């Protein structure tokens, strides 16, 4: 008897991803399309506003525990963060924090499919990202904050910092995670520095497998809805020291690297090899 | 960016609201909900200007088969008529679920 | 720092170092750290504050972080220095942390991506946010550029943001030249958009209208501050410290401002309506 066909998580819309991560029957979308909280800024520039501004917020349960999922729709404006989309994520995290402080823990999950700030809303996108960072740091004191980067957009810009702040980060091989997108690096530093069209090179630098192998992501998963949902469920007991607090360790690692002779991605895997998780 | 509006007669009421689609390149989203006045009303926000006649034609075809009193909002980013019809039909399917 | 496709040259502004030295009276060089990060404990309003700046250094070991960018070494050093303040003040009143901000961008480069600058930046943001949560009044003073990832890393987690009212104080998600290339517009077209669409503007007065700024300090010589100018800014910093101590240790003041009510109405509405639906969803 053959195994049932796998269903791709990458191919799901943000709405479908959020529903897939929540326990069956528990999913309730908040501020959905019919709330019509659209971008006030895009229509002024002749860009059609999506009714949910590209972020889906869904409450429900994960493994029986109260949870909220914020999933970014990568197909809308590259998943970019504007005033409303950024505020939706920040507000969901702030309310989760409020509930945690009141003794009613809510498990937050971020599905990150984004190029970073939406340039058409620039400073309000950037401000919202700062508010997201603040909320994650505050929330982490109460509950693990779980991030999922599945692809194919990946997670870039200020939201890559949000991914790095997550207590547990789950990535696929197709994912990419970096502060600056390959196109921007090529544009700013030249094609000799990085050819954005060289997929092998790009994924070698910042792809899911490389990030996992160098300890910058916690779990490497296949593109499968059930597998990813299970990993999100199991992430509730992430007890390791957050990467962003391992300051001395990373300073030592950097001190040992010569910028004139940086390691290859493969060499970095040996230098920054994953420790065994307890 | 262009905003278009159309109305069509309707015979049946619509029980609930449904949403399908994404405003991605070459795609659109459809918000469909019950109409307050027994008629069907469609408002379209589209990134491509000058195709009012094509939209009219597509909607004529759609409402030739669908007689629900629905308020439909379409946010479109350059979808072909075929994709528009597909999304509208998906919305009707969702109504039936 | 040229590039095959004509990457933008960073404007070497000395404002960060100038104001750091004016406010602390010291160069702030760390014994073990890059010359690009300056830290000094100095008096402010009757107590000791830690002042922190990121400055340019043409001899910085990472070539792509020589013009005042926040690169790998800078971000991890910021994280270290802020956490050092947190640790030192565990048993006493948390000192103010003053981020003197003049940062052109995050560093753009292959090594930076490989070696996880996104994590380095997050570590710095985390440190500042954690300090704020521990009760340190974190104040950002914008004296020059406050751009994108660099600002997220150094300054944007502050309780209060102050800025000099100067044409060279620019805040945005991407430099004009880069944004023009990415969006395939001219710089002039982008500037015109900024006049119509406030969040797209670069200048500090437009930024002030967004309600994110606590104080826009006018009438100060930003390039060559005299004694009175420095005293004026010190007083503003002190007042901001007191204000921060008297209010919640979060970023909520950015939402209760007049500017927020006027220009961030959608941000407020999202929060209001989400709270309504959240409680209903139980």
- Annotate chain A with three-state secondary structure: CCCCCCCCCCCCCHHHHHHHHCCCCCCEEECCHHHCCCCCCCHHHCCCCCCCCCEEEEEEEECCEEEEEEEECCCCHHHCECHHHHHHHHHHHHHHHHHHHCCCCCEEEEECCECCECCCCHHHHHHHHHHHHHHHHHHHCCCCCEEEECCCCCEECHHHHHHHHCCEEEEECCCEEECCCHHHHHHHHCCCCCCCCCHHHHHHHHEHHHHHHCCCCCEEECCCHHHHHHHHHHHHHCCCCCHHHCHHHHHHHHHCCCCCCCCCHHHHHHHCCCCCCC
Say whether residue A176 is in contact with chain C using an 8 A CB cutoff: no
Mean pLDDT of B33-50: 97
Q: Are residues C216 and C279 in the same domain?
A: no
Residues in chain A closer than 8 A to B1 (CB atoms)? 43, 46-48
pLDDT of A277 above 50: no
Sequence spans of domains, chain B: 2-96
- Alpha-carbon distance A177 to A209, whole Å? 10
Which chain A residues are within 8 Å of B76, Cβ to Cβ? 48
- Average pLDDT of span B25-50: 97
Among candidates B17, B19, B75 on the partner chain, residue whose Cβ is nearest the Cβ of A48: B75
User: Which candidate from B19, B46, B47 shows the least CB-CB separation from A33?
Assistant: B19
Q: Which of chain A's residues have a Cβ under 8 Å away from the Cβ of B75?
A: 48-51
In a shared domain, residues C109 and C156: yes
Q: What is the pLDDT of residue C10?
A: 44
Handedness of CA C184, C186, C187, C192 (dihedral sign): negative
> In the predicted model, is pLDDT for residue A2 greater than 70?
no
pLDDT of A187: 86
Task: Flag whether pLDDT at B70 surpasses 70.
Answer: yes
pLDDT value of position C6: 36
Could you tell me how many CB contacts below 8 A there are between chain A and chain B? 43
Mean residue pLDDT across chain A: 94
Q: Which of B2, B3, B20, B24 best tests the A interface by mutation, with the highest count of A CBs <10 A?
A: B24
pLDDT band at A238 (very low <50, low <70, confident <90, very high): low
Assess if residue C6 is contained within a domain.
Answer: no
Q: Is C22 at the interface with chain A, CB within 8 A?
A: no
Domain count, chain C: 2
φ/ψ of residue C185, rounded to 5: -125, 170
Residue C228 Cα, gap to closest chain A Cα (Å): 32
Residues of B in contact with A43 (CB under 8 A): 1, 45
Each residue's pLDDT, cut to its tens digit, for chain C (282 residues) gives 333 333 344 456 699 999 999 999 999 999 989 999 999 999 999 999 999 999 999 999 999 999 999 999 999 999 999 999 999 999 999 999 999 999 999 999 999 999 999 999 999 999 999 999 999 999 999 999 999 999 999 999 999 999 999 999 999 999 998 899 888 889 999 999 999 999 999 999 999 999 999 999 999 999 999 999 999 999 999 999 999 999 999 999 999 999 999 999 999 999 999 999 998 765
Q: What is the pTM of this model?
A: 0.96
What is the structure's pLDDT at B31? 98
What domain range is C196 assigned to? 15-250
CATH number assigned to the domain comprising residue C96: 3.90.226.10
Do residue C259 and residue C144 come from a single domain? no
Report chain B residues whose CB lies below 8 A from the CB of A34. 17, 19, 31, 33
User: Does a structural domain hold residue A200?
Assistant: yes
Show the domain range for A253. 14-271
Q: Verify that C96 and C216 share a domain, yes or no.
A: yes
Task: Identify which of C104, C64, C4, C116 has the alpha carbon closest to the alpha carbon of residue A187.
Answer: C4
Query: Are the CB atoms for C227 and C234 separated by under 8 Å?
Result: no
Checking if the pLDDT of A50 tops 50, the result is yes
- Cβ–Cβ gap A122/C63 under 8 Å: no
Q: Identify whether A2 is part of a domain.
A: no
Chains that touch A (3 or more CB pairs under 8 A): B, C
Residues C35 and C157 in one domain: yes
Q: What separation, in Å, do the N-terminal and C-terminal C-alpha atoms of chain B show?
A: 33
Q: Which residue has the tokens 């015109």?
A: C192
Domain membership flag for residue C2: no
- The CATH number of the domain where A243 resides is what? 3.90.226.10
Instruction: Give yes or no: residues C239 and C256 share one domain.
Output: no
Domain membership flag for residue C258: yes
Q: Are C69 and C162 found together in one domain? A: yes
Q: Does C88 lie in the same domain as C102?
A: yes
Chains that touch B (3 or more CB pairs under 8 A): A
pLDDT for C280 equals 79
**pLDDT beyond 90 at A135:** yes
Confidence bin at B94 (pLDDT 50/70/90) = very high
Domain count, chain A: 1
**With an 8 Å Cβ cutoff, are B45 and A49 in contact?**
yes
Residue A49 touches chain B, beta carbons under 8 Å: yes
Same domain, C70 and C120: yes
Q: In a 3-state reduction of DSSP, which class is residue B60?
A: helix
Q: Residue A79: closest CA among chain B residues belongs to which residue?
A: B24
With bands split at pLDDT 50, 70 and 90, how would you rate the model's confidence at A184? confident
* Phi-psi domain of A158 (left: phi exceeds 0; alpha: psi -120 through 50; beta: other): alpha
Residues in chain B: 97
A61 in contact with C, Cβ within 8 Å? no
Is there a single domain that holds both residue C80 and residue C92? yes
Structure tokens, B86: 């597909």
- The three-class DSSP label of residue C176 is helix
Measured between CA atoms, how close is A75 to chain B, in angstroms?
5
| Chain A hits for B84, Cβ within 8 Å | none
For position A278, what pLDDT does the model report?
Answer: 40
**Could you tell me if residue C70 is inside a domain?**
yes
Cα A227 from chain centre:
17
């Amino acid at each position: 008897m053959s195994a049932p066909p796998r269903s791709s998580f990458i191919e799901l819309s943000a709405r479908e991803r959020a529903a897939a991560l929540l326990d069956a029957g528990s999913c309730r979308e908040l501020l959905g399309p019919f709330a019509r909280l659209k971008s006030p800024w895009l229509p002024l520039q002749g860009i059609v506003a999506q009714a949910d501004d590209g972020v889906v917020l869904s409450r429900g349960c994960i493994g029986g525990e109260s949870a909220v999922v914020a999933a970014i729709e990568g197909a809308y404006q590259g998943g970019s963060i504007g005033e409303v989309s950024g505020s939706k994520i920040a507000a969901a995290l702030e309310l989760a924090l409020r509930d945690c402080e009141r003794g009613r823990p809510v498990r937050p999950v971020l599905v990150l499919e984004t190029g970073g700030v939406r340039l058409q809303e620039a400073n309000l996108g950037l401000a919202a990202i700062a508010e997201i960072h603040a909320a994650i740091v505050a929330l982490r004191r109460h509950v693990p904050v779980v991030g999922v980067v599945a692809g194919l957009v990946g997670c870039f810009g200020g939201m890559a910092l949000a991914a790095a702040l997550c207590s547990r980060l789950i990535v696929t091989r197709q994912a990419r995670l970096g502060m600056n997108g390959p196109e921007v690096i090529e544009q700013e530093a030249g094609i000799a520095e990085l050819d954005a069209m060289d997929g092998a090179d790009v994924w070698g630098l910042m792809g899911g497998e490389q990030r996992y192998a160098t300890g910058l992501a916690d779990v490497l998963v296949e593109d499968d809805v059930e597998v990813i949902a299970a990993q999100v469920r199991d992430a509730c007991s992430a007890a390791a020291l957050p990467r962003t607090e391992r300051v001395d360790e990373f300073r030592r690692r950097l001190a040992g690297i010569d910028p004139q002779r940086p390691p290859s991605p493969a060499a970095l895997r040996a230098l920054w090899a994953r420790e065994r998780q307890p | 960016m262009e905003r278009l509006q159309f109305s069509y007669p309707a015979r049946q009421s619509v029980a609930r609201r449904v949403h399908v689609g994404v405003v991605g390149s070459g795609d659109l989203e459809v918000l469909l909900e019950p109409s307050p006045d027994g008629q069907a009303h469609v408002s379209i926000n589209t990134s491509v200007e000058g195709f009012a006649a094509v939209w009219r034609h597509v909607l004529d075809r759609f409402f030739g088969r669908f007689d629900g009193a629905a308020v439909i909002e379409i946010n479109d980013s350059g979808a072909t008529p075929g994709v528009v019809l597909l999304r509208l039909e998906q919305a009707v399917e969702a109504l039936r679920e | 720092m040229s590039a095959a496709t004509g990457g933008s040259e960073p404007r070497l502004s000395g404002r960060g170092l100038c104001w750091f030295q004016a406010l602390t009276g010291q160069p702030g060089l760390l014994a073990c750290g890059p010359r690009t990060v300056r830290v000094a404990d100095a008096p402010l309003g009757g107590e000791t504050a830690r002042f922190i700046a990121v400055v340019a250094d043409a001899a910085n070991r990472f070539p792509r972080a020589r013009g005042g960018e926040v690169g790998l070494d800078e971000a991890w050093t910021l994280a270290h220095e802020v956490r050092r303040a947190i640790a030192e003040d565990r048993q006493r009143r948390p000192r103010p942390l003053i981020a003197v901000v003049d940062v052109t961008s995050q560093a753009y480069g292959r090594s930076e991506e490989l070696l996880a600058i996104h994590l380095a930046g997050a570590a710095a943001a985390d440190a500042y946010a954690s300090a704020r949560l521990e009760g340190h009044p974190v104040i950002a003073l914008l004296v020059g550029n406050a751009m994108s990832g660099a600002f997220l890393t150094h300054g944007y987690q502050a309780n209060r943001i102050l800025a000099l009212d100067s044409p060279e104080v620019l805040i945005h998600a991407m430099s004009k030249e880069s944004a023009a290339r990415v969006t395939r517009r001219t710089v002039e077209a982008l500037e015109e958009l900024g006049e119509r669409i406030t969040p797209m503007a670069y200048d500090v007065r437009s930024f002030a209208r967004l309600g994110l700024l606590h104080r826009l300090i006018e009438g100060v010589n930003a390039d060559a501050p005299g004694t009175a100018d420095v005293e004026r800014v010190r007083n503003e910093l002190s007042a901001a410290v007191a204000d921060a101590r008297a209010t919640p240790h979060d970023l909520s003041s950015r939402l209760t401002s007049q500017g927020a009510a006027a220009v961030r109405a959608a941000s407020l509405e999202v929060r209001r309506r989400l709270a309504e639906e959240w409680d209903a969803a139980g």
